[in-house]
Chains A and B, each alone.
Chain A
């Protein structure tokens, strides 16, 4: 398993990295070089608590902060006073901010930042934090565009900060079992995988509203927009339903793909695909579709043949495998189906039931996780990199977001009789140049990475 091997290597380098960091900190103390140029994080010994700031705390952010509640929550930032009110109350000693830039300027004692804003502001916030040498926990998907993800991955790597993407399933027993079954050859070589999720749960395939209600007094709409193009406030965007709007969210694939594809990526050691195609219900320049199917072709990897990965959302899913006995659930909520040359696996359960019983458990070769958020806390204190550190979750997120590029090009693709051919390392669609406009989102004046 790629990711795991890499983590182990890094664990061996741990001491070195910590020594270097502390040296860097000493240099900093005697010079006037701003910390973001050096990019080194402050050293926090395991015995001490981290000083954590949260950005975007009203929704998922509240849960993330709770998960890192063993540390000091020193500052909280949200653009929506009403949505965040309860969370602000839960941490009375934390300083409150609306603008993360102001918070990062003023709060010199922050070690780490937890980001759980809408997708379109992940990158600018994470990049600012990384450049200041802060450790970063960022909700999935890592960013709104492929370009942003790449820049964040590079910056975090260079700065040596501890990072974790919010795809907590990566830390689960199930994710490890998937890899161990595949590694043990339980279903033979895998050439086909299906993954599905029954979201969305907010409206899709719709146009921009024409009415322009007043912005609530408790909301800073301009800061909510952040780097996205200006548009009038409307309650159809927030909270939560921004996920369906291309300017802010990344559809179901962005919402769930980083969760659900991670076990596939690890088990099959996936990198960049060679091509991708997509079909869907109504997709327009404003919103993601209600339902879609995205198909990726991955090339052969060390000892593994090429594999086709199909993603379904909106309630679509593959046909029920004949190996699954009548009465056993083949649910539409979310799952993964691996088709191997020697058998099939649903999630981490071998099919049919008889085969699962006969086979039992695969050899336990992968280390287990202390918990997804704990992994990151440990990494912030000099421990080994977290399981979804950006070196691993960056490429995963890029592949997820590439699916959205294909969705937005869907009509043109079938009219032209093409799949999108993709040059992963260079972040480029090679056979349909128009598609490349979706690799990066344009920022409003005043915003940059």
Chain B
């Protein structure tokens, strides 16, 4: 596994890195070079606790903070103090903020690490601000809102040598390791086709998690007193407050969220990425329901083409959402569920649903793959360990950046203005130059202008 190899290399070099960091800190003490230029984080011995700040703590952020509560939670930031109330009360000693920029200024000396769990459109500006101050960063998935941001955040983290982890906790699971080991052990032979699907934004076939395929509301209700709407918007273009966006439903809106693909893709494509040692796709294509410039479509299928990697042949990855699924494989017996969320690898010797090889006869014949991967101490613990000089976490940004780029590239293919183009071509992707080469106008969707006061 490419990634694992890299991790081991880095891990072997751990002492030197810590020595270097120590030296850097010493230099910093005697010069006027601003800290963010050096970008070195404080050295934290394993016996000490990491001083952590949270940005966006009302939703998933509350869970992330709880998961690292063995450390010192020193500051919490949320633009909605009502929604963040529960988390605030659990950590009464943490100082409270509304603006992450103010928090980072005031608490710079007191914090080692930042947990970012805001809506997607704020991930990049919050993460980069922290990284440039030499803070370790745990950021919820998807790493960012747009492809360019993912590239910049990963580069900054590399440059500033901070410990990073994206919030796709499934990467730490036994299942992810079994998927890799089954593939590498030859459980289903060579894989040329993979299907990944989620029923989101649907919940079952009757209800919805959040609406997509809808237009912008025309009324402009008053924002709740407890919400700082301007800070919630952050770098996104100004628009009036509406409960159609907060909380949670921002996921369906182009300006704030990343749709079902962004929400779930970094979770469910991650093990495929590892097992098949994927690197940037060569091309992407999409088909979907009616598109508009406000919200993501109701349902979509996105297809990525990846080139050969080492001994592994080129592979197509098909993503489905909104209730769409690949065909139920003939290898399943009646009554074996196929699921409303899942992953299916199609190999030349069999198929694999999640990490379960089908048909049953092939699973029995193959038995258990050799256990070659190290098991995880836990997703959040990986990051804590890395913050203290341990080896990089499993979804550190060197891994998570390219994965998130791939996921977000799929959303470019769903843009309304691209739809007609896609009847004639696939979008060809030049990852090294971060460029769609055959449909130049698609490149505008890789990044965007920020409102004043926000930058990467």
A residues contacting B by CB (< 8 A) are: 205, 277, 279-284, 289-291, 293, 295, 308, 310, 312, 314-317, 319-320, 326-332, 410-411, 414-419, 431
Contacts and interface: CB of A to CB of B under 8 A. Distances in A.
A277 B423 contact: no
Nearest to A297: B330
A314 B301 CA distance: 12
A326 B289 CA distance: 23
A69 B423 CA distance: 39
Contacts of B204: 411
Contact of B424 (A312, A328, A410): A328
A327 B424 contact: yes
B interface SS class:
loop
Contacts of A329: 423-424
Contact of A281 (B322, B335, B340): B322
Interface residues of B, number: 39
B424 A414 contact: no
B337 A295 contact: no
Interface stretch (B96-104, B205-213, B272-280): B205-213
Nearest to B425: A326
Contacts of B290: 290, 314-315
Contacts of B411: none
Nearest to B302: A319
B424 A290 contact: no
A331 B423 contact: yes
B316 interface: yes
A277 B299 CA distance: 18
Contact of B423 (A281, A282, A332): A332
Contacts of A293: 324-325
Of the listed residues A293, A312, A316, the one surrounded by the most CB atoms of chain B closer than 10 A to its CB is A316
Given A282-B206, A417-B335, A315 B289 contact: yes
A281 B424 contact: no
A316 B340 contact: no
Nearest to A317: B287
Interface in B317-347: 318, 322-325, 327-328, 332, 334-340
Interface string B101-124: 000000000000000000000000
B340 A290 contact: no
A377 B376 CA distance: 75
Contacts of A279: 323-325
B334 A431 contact: yes
A319 B323 contact: no
B321 to A, nearest CB: 10
A331 B336 CA distance: 36
Given A316-B301, A327-B424, A284 B327 contact: no
Given A283-B205, A411-B205, A316 B327 contact: no
Contact of A414 (B301, B339, B419, B426): B339
Contact of A291 (B299, B303, B325, B438): B299
A281 B325 contact: no
B145 interface: no
Contacts of A295: 327-328
B288 interface: yes
B316 A319 contact: yes
B202 interface: yes
B438 A326 contact: yes
B297 interface: yes
Contact of B205 (A282, A310, A319, A418): A282
Interface string B264-302: 000000000000000000000101111000000111110
A281 B327 contact: no
Interface in B202-225: 202, 204-206, 208, 213
